Amino acid sequence: MSSRERILGRVRRALADVRPDDTPYEQAVLREYLREHGERSVEETVDLLAENLADYRAIVHRCSAGDLPATIAGMLAARGAKTVLVPPGLETAWLAAADVERVPDRAESSARQLDQLDSVVTACAVAVAETGTIVLDGSPDQGRRRITLVPDHHICVVRVPDQVVSSVPQALELLDPARPLTWISGPSATSDIELDRVEGVHGPRTLEVILVG
């Protein structure tokens, strides 16, 4: 007997008390919780996103679409970044004003090569106001998962209010599970020393989020 058959057989014997007409999934799982917490206007939702991002030590900037290239250029200059990693589908206008070397991400770029780069600029798939979370789904304007992980400085552009939802349930509805997703809430952190939160471990230690719109 294979282990698969052995385990499934054990499960079935263990569940001898469960009748064939056991309550089906739809009725067994009551969803009496809220779809979102509190009522907010669109502006208030964007404000809450900004507030919660900042609460977990992301640096938040707000600007209009027209000012975006200058804003990004200013941030990269302030950081002293010389090289910036660019996902294949990033809008070229976003980096038009930046005085840095643009390094396109290629499938063959190794982790070691990515480690040499100063910054990365990406878009996002959706942002969650209640938790201060941005979600990347690997679309061409966000690139492979590793490019937002290895460089120490990540600039993420969120189009507001279009890409902002209030809650985790609303975000999951919009996301495609077949894509590899990365949910990011602030820069990398740890609570492993005396259960106290410290920012800055393996992921980018500086996360800057630009809310555009």
Partner 1 sequence: MSGTFVGMPAFPKAAHEAVHDQTLRGNLRHATHTIRGKRATAVAEVSDWAALRDAGARIKDHTLRHLDGYLVQLEESVTAAGGTVHWAADADEANRIVAELVKETGESEVVKVKSMATQEIGLNEALEAEGIRAYETDLAELIVQLGKDRPSHILVPAIHRNRGEIRDIFAREMSEWGRPAPDGLTDTPAELAEAARLHLREKFLRAKVGVSGANFMVAETGTLVVVESEGNGRMCLTLPETLISVVGIEKVVPTWQDLEVFLQTLPRSSTAERMNPYTSTWTGTTDEDGPRDFHLVLLDNGRTDTLADEVGRQALRCIRCSACLNVCPVYERAGGHAYGSVYPGPIGAILSPQLRGTASEIDASLPYASTLCGACYEVCPVAIDIPEVLVHLRERVVQGGQVIQGGNKVVLKPAKGHAAERAAMRAAGWAFARPAALRTGQRLASRTRRLHPRSLPGPGKAWSGTRDLPAVPAEPFRDWWQRTHGGKDGAK
Q: Comparing C-alpha atoms, which of 155, 160, 164, 157 is closest to residue 208?
A: 155
| 52 is an interface residue for partner 1 by CB under 8 A | yes
Show contacts with partner 1 in window 75-94 (CB under 8 A).
none
Is 99 or 194 the residue whose CB approaches partner 1 more closely?
194
Which tokens hold the place of 81?
């970044």
- Exactly one of 54, 63, 161, 188 binds partner 1 (CB under 8 A); that residue is 188
- List C-alpha distances in Å: 12 to 3, 52, 117, 182, 211: 14, 46, 53, 36, 52
| 39 is an interface residue for partner 1 by CB under 8 A | no
| 102 is an interface residue for partner 1 by CB under 8 A | no
Distance of CA 34 to the CA centre of its chain: 23
Q: Which stretch binds partner 1 (CB under 8 A): 59-67, 74-82, 155-163, 197-205?
A: 197-205
Please tell me the distance from the alpha carbon of residue 182 to that of residue 146, in angstroms, as a whole number.
10
- Exactly one of 15, 42, 93, 96 binds partner 1 (CB under 8 A); that residue is 15
Is 5 or 99 the residue whose CB approaches partner 1 more closely?
5
Which tokens hold the place of 103?
């390094």
Pairing of strands 119-122, 83-86: parallel
Is 97 or 189 the residue whose CB approaches partner 1 more closely?
189
Is 64 or 191 the residue whose CB approaches partner 1 more closely?
191
Could you count the other beta carbons within 10 Å of the beta carbon of residue 91? 13
- Exactly one of 138, 139, 161, 213 binds partner 1 (CB under 8 A); that residue is 138
